[in-house]
C-alpha cells in the first residue's frame, strides 16, 4: 500500500466534500470574482445554476468514489482522473474572471492530490 497515494486520495475527496457541503454558502476568501457563496461564484463565471448543481453532484460523486476506492481499488484511478479534470476547469474559471493566483490555490491543491492519487494508486491485478 502506497501511503502517499492513499493520503492524496483521501485528502482530495474530503476537501471536495467539505467545499460542496460545509462551505457551500460560506465566504471562503477563495471564491471567484466578488462571490461570497457557491451560487454567486457560478454567476461570476457566467454559468447557469443548473451547471452548478450538475458540477457539484459530479464532484461529490467522484469524491465518494475515491473514498469507496479504499475498499474497491479499481475505482480510484478513474475517479481521481475525473476530479483532476474538473480542477483544471476550476482553475480555468478563476483565470476567466482574472482572479489573483491565491484564489486558484485550493483547486490547484486538489488537482495535485488527484493526480498523485491516480498515479500512485495502482489496483492489484
Distance, in Å, from the CA atom of 34 to the CA atom of 83, rounded to the nearest integer, reads 25
Average pLDDT estimate for 65-83: 96
**pLDDT value for 1:** 53
Decide if 123 contacts 99 (C-beta within 8 A).
no
Comparing C-alpha atoms, which of 114, 81, 52 is closest to residue 44? 52
Euclidean distance between CA atoms 87 and 7, whole angstroms? 18
Please state the pTM of the whole predicted model.
Answer: 0.92
If you average pLDDT over residues 39-57, what whole number do you get?
95
Q: Which residue has the cell 447557469?
A: 48
Contact 57, 109 (CB under 8 A): no
Amino acid at each position: 500500500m502506497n501511503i502517499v497515494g492513499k493520503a492524496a486520495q483521501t485528502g482530495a475527496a474530503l476537501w471536495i466534500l467539505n467545499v460542496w457541503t460545509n462551505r457551500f454558502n460560506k465566504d471562503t476568501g477563495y471564491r471567484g470574482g466578488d462571490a461570497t457563496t457557491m451560487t454567486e461564484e457560478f454567476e461570476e463565471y457566467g454559468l447557469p445554476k443548473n451547471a452548478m448543481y450538475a458540477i457539484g453532484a459530479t464532484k461529490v460523486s467522484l469524491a465518494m468514489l475515491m473514498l469507496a476506492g479504499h475498499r474497491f481499488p479499481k475505482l480510484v484511478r478513474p475517479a481521481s482522473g475525473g476530479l483532476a479534470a474538473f480542477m483544471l476547469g476550476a482553475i480555468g474559471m478563476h483565470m476567466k474572471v482574472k482572479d489573483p493566483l491565491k484564489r486558484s490555490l485550493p483547486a490547484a491543491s486538489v488537482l495535485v492530490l488527484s493526480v498523485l492519487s491516480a498515479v500512485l494508486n495502482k489496483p492489484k491485478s
